[in-house]
Amino acid sequence: MNTSNIEIQHQIKTKMVKGDIPTPPGTGHIGCLTKDQKAILKDVWAVIFYIADSGEAIVPADMMNEVQKEATSSEAKSATVQAAAYAGWFSGKKAAKAQEEAKAAVFGAGMAKISLADLGLSVDKLRPILWDNVMGDHPDALVLRFVRARKWNIINALNMMFKAFKWRLDEDVPAIKCGEQTRGLLDSATPLAWGSTSQNTGTSHRLRHGAGRVLIQHPIETVCLVFDLTGFSLANMDFAMVRYLGVWKVVQPWLDPVVAAKVRFTRSDQDLLEHIPAKHLPDRCKGGLDHFTYSYPRAQPEENKCMEDTETKDKLVAEWKALMWKFEALTREWITAGTPQAPSARSEEEVEQEREQLAKELRVAYFKMDPYIRARNMFHRTSPPIAQADGSALWVYNN
């Protein structure tokens, strides 16, 4: 069923209250959404589908008006929030223009039209980059990352998501993650993902571009990045992030308090033990028990032989895409389940159960396809392999 703009008007019933909607502890993730959070997730998917089909969508104007008003007010909490008023769907007097366009398109007063063109995207690129971002995750996990980051504000979340997609397309991230263009850095251990923290989040002692993503598994959705600045000084802080860390006291007041709270500075190796269990911490750090020595496992002959088997690749990609389209169809049904717009008499619970099972099947299909579309990396070459064939991660510590 294709979601029409008329249906979007009925579906997007969530009104954006002034300010941010906090995420109460223990909520906001798959399996633990509140009633209101689930409604917002449905609203976001509804807009995604229509805009992916047509390049534009109609949403309640008060969403855009309130967001723009909040972002440009003198009480805006951060420079980041204020900057939103001058980018993407908030540029200039976009909210007023969007309402005029919706009215001209016979959608009446109180509605606004948003489009991919405002963000430099197009219909033919949106769906592929959306699913390229999903990879082996539950699709809701991807959407919820942006929704939580923008405090359950639908327009802000979509704006952020689509601009992130645009960046990935501009930087050709899909091509980068399919190969090992960072081999020189890997030799020197400049990027390295290893182990987990006391909260079971993935730990990256150095930043690896893309490859560590598949090591994160439900219900874990976060990564702890450890920047070792031993020996660094302002003279050699060339990377933007490192410079940012160096002026933390200056930029901290500009940031959202939730974001700022995620950054922790440690003064000694012992401080790391507050975040990383001793048995997971390399013994080069005082108090660490893991006898870990980094050695980059070189590529093996014909390890990417599967990528040459185009017949099997095409078959597996087709199977995965069939599940993708089925998931989209089920999500469209889930959005309207129990309402007059529902395409069937099935209950929301019934559709939801089938949808959750399909998300699991999508993950299985993705990792069957994975060796045919993505080059093997160091996590596939360790003994035993950290990156398992089924998408799970096996961390082995030498204590």
| Residue 83 and residue 41 share a domain | yes
Tokens of 368: 């069957």
Domain-embedded: residue 296: no
Please state, for a pLDDT cut of 70, what percent of the chain lies above it: 69
**Domain-terminating residue out of 120, 149, 174:** 174
**Domain-terminating residue out of 146, 174, 202:** 174
Q: Which residues of the chain have pLDDT under 50?
A: 1-3, 5-19, 74-77, 80-81, 84-85, 181-189, 204-209
> At a CB cut-off of 8 Å and minimum separation 6, what does 99 contact?
61, 64, 109, 110, 111, 112, 113
**Do 103 and 113 meet the contact criterion of CB atoms below 8 Å apart?**
no
**Do 147 and 40 meet the contact criterion of CB atoms below 8 Å apart?**
yes
| Residue 167 and residue 68 share a domain | yes
How far from each other are the two terminal CA atoms of the chain, in whole angstroms? 55
8-37 per-position pLDDT tens digit: 444 444 444 444 788 998 999 999 999 999
| Residue 350 and residue 261 share a domain | no
| Residue 104 and residue 219 share a domain | no
| Residue 63 and residue 148 share a domain | yes
Q: What's the structural domain count of the chain? A: 3
Identity (one letter) of the amino acid at 245?
A: L
Please give the model's pTM, rounded to 2 decimal places. 0.80
| Residue 315 and residue 258 share a domain | no
pLDDT, averaged across the chain: 78
Tokens of 2: 């294709």
**Domain-terminating residue out of 123, 148, 174:** 174
Domain extent, residue 211, equals 183-280
**Do 255 and 78 meet the contact criterion of CB atoms below 8 Å apart?**
yes
| Residue 235 and residue 101 share a domain | no
pLDDT value, residue 330: 96
- Full DSSP string of 186-234: HHTTSS-EEEE-TT--EEESS--SSGGGGG--TT---EEE----TT--G
| Residue 311 and residue 351 share a domain | yes
Q: Which residue has the tokens 């870990």?
A: 292
